[in-house]
Structure 1
Amino acid sequence: MSDRSMRAMRKHALAAATVTALSCVAMSAFAADRINLAALANESQDEFIVKYRDGSAQRSNAATLERSLSSAATGFAGKGKALGLKHLRRTALGSDVVRAGRKLDRVEAESLMRQIAADPNVEYVEPNARMYPTATPNDTRFGEQWGYTDADAGINATTAWDISTGTGVVVAVIDTGIVSHTDLNANILPGYDFVSDATAARDGNGRDSDPSDQGDWFVAGECGRTYNSNSSWHGTHVAGTVAAVTNNAKGVAGTAYNAKVVPVRVLAKCGGSLADIADAITWASGGTVSGIPANANPAEVINMSLGGSGACGSTYQAAINGAVSRGTTVVVAAGNNNGNAADARPANCTGVITVGAVDSAGARSVWSSTQKSNYGAVVDIAAPGSNILSTLNAGTTTPGAESYASYGGTSMATPHVAGVVALLQAKATTPKTPAEIETLLKNTARAFPQTPDQPIGVGIVNAKAALDALGGTPNPGTQTYSNGTDYNIPDNNTTGVSSSIAVSGRTGNAPSNASVTVNIIHPYKGDLKVDLIAPDGSVYNIHNRSGGSADNVSGTFTVNLSSEALNGTWKLRAVDAAAVDVGRIDTWSITF
């Protein structure tokens, strides 16, 4: 062979090698775009979320999916024994949760993710990271709900309640689940347990329709911790701040006390997984999750007082985008690590309202030398987050007696904001979009009484100002509505007769001390049963065949109507079920 021919062959070989090398570089760079390396934490990792492209064989054929995972595991250059990848399940977003045969450190996890992403059909891959409650428990009970009324840093809730109490709005609390509490139960709707790890869930069966909090306690050596920790009952505390039963002469008040809460359990022993939380967001907002019954009460608001480190990632963002597209406002905690919330998720996700915490002086909340409210440009607004009293449980591990306690954290600030969103949506003539809600909250926030040492939003959420800015006419104060028309009461008749009063132009619910004044002419009031009937048909008894031969039923009666909407037709019904005597409803009135 001639020298010229040899040079030509070497030239072609070099060109081919260059093309191959450039192809490898291009493929490596392309694959890197699909790996969420920023989501890798320093803790060991064995679960990953892999999204294959729509239309790919892996999406429709289980055997192809298994071969892809096997190929990635074979090419993995980790330390120690060979690695196996097992497919666990498919999420509501169409991604797949896979588990490695052992825990991987950060370097190994990155290596495996690169192997998985080398498949061109992979849209993205990220760790199935753990999320944790963001509260800082405080065993001391004090600061009795200062966050509603405090002149410096409260949310102006008491004046807002004259306009709206959240009636008809559903708030999903995605957290540790819930325990029974008599100051909360009446406002709880059916929820769901999305914790897929049966051991961590402590209920023995993984996902199910029971969102009861089984306790998130652990002992030293578990969850990567060197200390013991009691159960937090975190979800119950958060739910109480959203919608504890109010005007019931006991316990605490809720921010939107006539709203309803759907408890969604995602956190258990050692926190909760990203994949479970993403499915919970989808379900809570009315989306479909394979194998899970539809949520009968889709939430207008989602509260997520939880978080972890790292970039938002495709899984979180896709779930949040889906919720927002369904009209659900997602409110999340900024975190408690005294760091930039841009490094905490879901605080750094797009489309959420991220909440920082203030104390009663309006300063950025400080709970210890290392635990302070996160800050930064991604924080939208602040709310009370220090010494927040709410519903709890006294059990140290498993549930015990119901209780109350003060907690601190951006976890406690977040439900204040979620509750205000519920107040707004209840008053709005048509539902506001999540973007409109965020703008409204920011535009009406009260100024910080002192400039925070770090940025924690545009100001402190102001419930009354936000409702005023929403438009409409607030309640005109206490008014009396009367009916003076005579209504004859039929004798010996179990149906009786009703007199009606129509109420309109009001907003919100009736008070707990409404006054009903009646004047019924009858010679034998022991024959009579008298009821007030609310617009929704609820019956409140005023007089029940007492008094014997005394005549007339007259006087003013105080009735707790706090669960009833003001507007509608109110009725006074009188029944005379005995023979002989007859009478009439002369006049009656209701004052609220």
Structure 2
Amino acid sequence: MHRTTCGLAVLIVASALLATPAQAAEADFVKAKNPVAGGSFIVSLKPGAAVQASSSALTQRYGGTLDAVFSHAMRGFQVKNLTEAAARRLAADPAVKAVYQDGTAKALDVQTNPTWGLDRVDQANLPLDKKFTYPSGGASNVTVYVTDTGIKTSIADFEGRASVGADFIEDGQNGQDCSGHGTHVAGTVGSRTYGVAKKAKLVSVRMLGASCGNSGPDSAGVKAIEWVTANAQKPAVVNASWTFDTADIGNDAIAGMISSGVQMAAASGNSSTNACSTGPAKIASLITVNATSTNDARASFSNFGSCTDIFAPGDGITSLGLNGGATNMSGTSMASPHVAGVAALYLSANPSASPQALRDALVNNATDGKVTNPGTGSPNKLLYSGFIGGGPDQVCGPGTNGDDVSIPDTGTAVSSSVTISGCTGNSTASATVKVDINHTYTGDLAIDLVSPSGKSYVLKKAGGASSSAGVHETYTVDLSSEARNGTWKLQVTDIYTYDVGNIDTWTLTV
């Protein structure tokens, strides 16, 4: 999991399975930076493999002890007591998509300034008005799953609305927080005094907090997502104030959870670097949150970049401590629960909203252009809750297509479409196209935007500097001569030989 200044860092390894021992490709075996003891690995199976039968058979074939089987959020299993050499052989099995070595998740706490976040999110502009206005129901019909170090559910400020769902640290704490991080996060989501969604139901899904600290195995994070997917009481949203040290370990599980109808607000990380290198922040379908300070500047620690979606208060946030009193913490860990709380308020008014509709509502209605020094590629969007008063969002919003489209080698152009409707007039001179393309040699690619009128706009020419990390950029385009409504296409052509890839997702804001 990404690191956050009050965030959690999780490490997990993806696995690939073989019928006979073979040397696994490095792309199929992901080594943890800080492995946990006990030879633990997470194995992701390819489509078509029977999960229960394959999990048992592969464990028997390659060794180790089968610890958990995943069939709700992802298709795979956890194996323990396995050597790295055996895990690499397992990764080469044709039934296996990837093998991730189990790493260590961490939370980093910083005490600083007094609270101000609630005051900021309900107004578009500074100065603060010393009020927080919110819908009277306070999201009483919504459940927020806090995947963290636990929640001290007995604290009076939770008003009996906090409960324990599951504990994957399994140290006898039974979902109760003895670290403080999870309680602070839950307090920002939904406590009486410090919460955004003041009547939401809060459920502790403990996957950090080993030895009452702020760490835990990455596998606990995958188990937490699996549990939420299987047990969520909807409408629901998940808060993830942590990051994976191995960026892709939770991709399958989180994608499965979102497909099941549960959105996630996730901290972007506290390394002041591009969040596209961290997970789950890099996952396009969730809501990735950067942090701001009291003056609307990006917090000095906050990550940034085109893989992020929105900014929210995260520097010097006051919420609940373990003793039930107030305590201050800073980090994208503190920004994310503001977004989870506003998400709960929106779901309360729009309980049938899909995860994509929820994400779009928050991003479309965020205040534009307020964040100073947002960081290269970051959307300059500051969280705003004031638009929620019941009824669906009527703002003319962006269009997103997250369906993968393969890009053939030296092939014909391929395209991915989004349809904009319900808007009026022409677009602007500063329309944006957020592009996420996976490709091992980006110099091969020519990328164009094709308008409903058929006109092409060059986003990227083939040639020039290349990267094996793909194209993860936000392009600004003058579309002022084009009507907003209609079907727009992202067109990609691989001009040269040897490398292939795919369009992962793209978003057009007109």
TM-score by length of 2: 0.64
CA distance in 2, matches of 1:441, 1:454: 20
Q: Does 1:386 align with 2:315?
A: yes
Q: CA deviation at 1:262?
A: 1.2
The amino acid that maps onto 2:90 is I
Q: Is the 8 A contact 2:142 2:348 kept in 1?
A: yes
Go from structure 1 to structure 2 and tell me whether the alpha carbon gap of 1:450 and 1:284 turns closer, same or farther (over 3 Å shift).
closer
The amino acid that maps onto 1:381 is I
Q: Secondary structure in 2 aligned to 1:241?
A: helix
Q: CA deviation at 1:42?
A: 5.7
The amino acid that maps onto 1:254 is G
Match of 1:437 in 2: 358
Aligned with residue 171 of structure 1, among 144, 151, 161: 144
Match of 2:244 in 1: 308
CA distance in 1, matches of 2:391, 2:161: 27
The amino acid that maps onto 1:447 is D
Q: CA deviation at 1:312?
A: 1.9
CA-to-aligned-CA distance 1:523-562 (integer Å, 9 cap, x gap):
xxxxxxxxxxxxxxxxxxxxxxxxxxxxxxxxxxxxxxxx
* Equivalent residue runs for 1:127-138 within 5 Å: 127-133=101-107, 135-138=108-111
Aligned with residue 274 of structure 1, among 209, 218, 243: 218
Q: CA deviation at 1:342?
A: 1.3
Q: Is the 8 A contact 1:154 1:384 kept in 2?
A: no
Greater fraction of residues in helix: 1
Q: Does 1:346 align with 2:280?
A: yes
CA distance in 1, matches of 2:36, 2:156: 41
Q: Does 1:69 align with 2:62?
A: yes
CA distance in 1, matches of 2:56, 2:367: 58
Q: Does 1:262 align with 2:193?
A: no
* Equivalent residue runs for 1:399-414 within 5 Å: 401-414=323-336
The amino acid that maps onto 2:226 is T
Match of 2:343 in 1: 421
CA-to-aligned-CA distance 1:44-66 (integer Å, 9 cap, x gap):
77321123456658942777434
CA-to-aligned-CA distance 1:371-401 (integer Å, 9 cap, x gap):
x0011111100000011111112xxxxxxx3
Match of 2:158 in 1: 184
CA distance in 1, matches of 2:128, 2:286: 20
Match of 1:236 in 2: 183
Q: Secondary structure in 2 aligned to 1:131?
A: strand
Match of 1:373 in 2: 302
CA distance in 2, matches of 1:407, 1:35: 38
Q: Is the 8 A contact 1:145 1:388 kept in 2?
A: no
CA distance in 1, matches of 2:225, 2:218: 10
Match of 2:94 in 1: 120
Q: CA deviation at 1:322?
A: 2.1
Q: Does 1:328 align with 2:262?
A: yes
Q: Does 1:447 align with 2:368?
A: yes
Q: CA deviation at 1:143?
A: 4.8
**Superposition RMSD in Å:** 3.3
CA distance in 2, matches of 1:470, 1:163: 17
Q: Is the 8 A contact 2:36 2:103 kept in 1?
A: no
CA-to-aligned-CA distance 1:170-204 (integer Å, 9 cap, x gap):
11111111112111143214422122xx4xx354x
CA-to-aligned-CA distance 1:148-177 (integer Å, 9 cap, x gap):
467756999956515662231111111111
Q: Secondary structure in 2 aligned to 1:161?
A: coil
TM-score by length of 1: 0.56
Match of 2:134 in 1: 161
Q: Is the 8 A contact 1:57 1:64 kept in 2?
A: no
Equivalenced residues, count: 367
Match of 2:410 in 1: none
CA distance in 2, matches of 1:384, 1:156: 16
Aligned with residue 35 of structure 1, among 28, 37, 47: 28
Q: Is the 8 A contact 2:370 2:382 kept in 1?
A: no
Q: Secondary structure in 2 aligned to 1:345?
A: coil
Go from structure 1 to structure 2 and tell me whether the alpha carbon gap of 1:340 and 1:469 turns closer, same or farther (over 3 Å shift).
farther
Go from structure 1 to structure 2 and tell me whether the alpha carbon gap of 1:258 and 1:450 turns closer, same or farther (over 3 Å shift).
closer
Aligned with residue 91 of structure 1, among 57, 65, 70: 70
Q: CA deviation at 1:33?
A: 7.3
Q: CA deviation at 1:471?
A: 5.0
Runs of 4+ in structure 1 over 6 Å off: 153-157
CA distance in 2, matches of 1:63, 1:176: 31
CA distance in 2, matches of 1:181, 1:353: 29
Q: Is the 8 A contact 2:36 2:104 kept in 1?
A: no
Go from structure 1 to structure 2 and tell me whether the alpha carbon gap of 1:387 and 1:262 turns closer, same or farther (over 3 Å shift).
same
The sequence identity of aligned pairs, in percent, is 28
The amino acid that maps onto 2:357 is E
CA distance in 2, matches of 1:460, 1:427: 21
* Equivalent residue runs for 1:278-297 within 5 Å: 278-285=222-229, 287=230, 294=231, 297=233
Go from structure 1 to structure 2 and tell me whether the alpha carbon gap of 1:129 and 1:147 turns closer, same or farther (over 3 Å shift).
farther
Go from structure 1 to structure 2 and tell me whether the alpha carbon gap of 1:139 and 1:365 turns closer, same or farther (over 3 Å shift).
closer
Q: Is the 8 A contact 1:165 1:423 kept in 2?
A: yes
CA distance in 2, matches of 1:95, 1:303: 23
Go from structure 1 to structure 2 and tell me whether the alpha carbon gap of 1:154 and 1:323 turns closer, same or farther (over 3 Å shift).
farther
Match of 2:398 in 1: none
Q: Is the 8 A contact 1:152 1:362 kept in 2?
A: no
Q: Which has the larger radius of gyration?
A: 1
CA distance in 2, matches of 1:122, 1:254: 43
Q: Secondary structure in 2 aligned to 1:463?
A: coil
Q: Is the 8 A contact 2:157 2:191 kept in 1?
A: yes
Match of 2:476 in 1: none
Q: Is the 8 A contact 1:311 1:343 kept in 2?
A: yes
CA distance in 2, matches of 1:382, 1:438: 13
Tell me: higher relative CO, structure 1 or 2? Use CA pairs within 8 A at least 6 residues apart. Answer: 2
Match of 1:60 in 2: 53
CA distance in 2, matches of 1:348, 1:378: 5
Q: Is the 8 A contact 2:124 2:384 kept in 1?
A: no
CA distance in 2, matches of 1:62, 1:469: 46
CA distance in 1, matches of 2:49, 2:258: 27
Q: Secondary structure in 2 aligned to 1:167?
A: coil
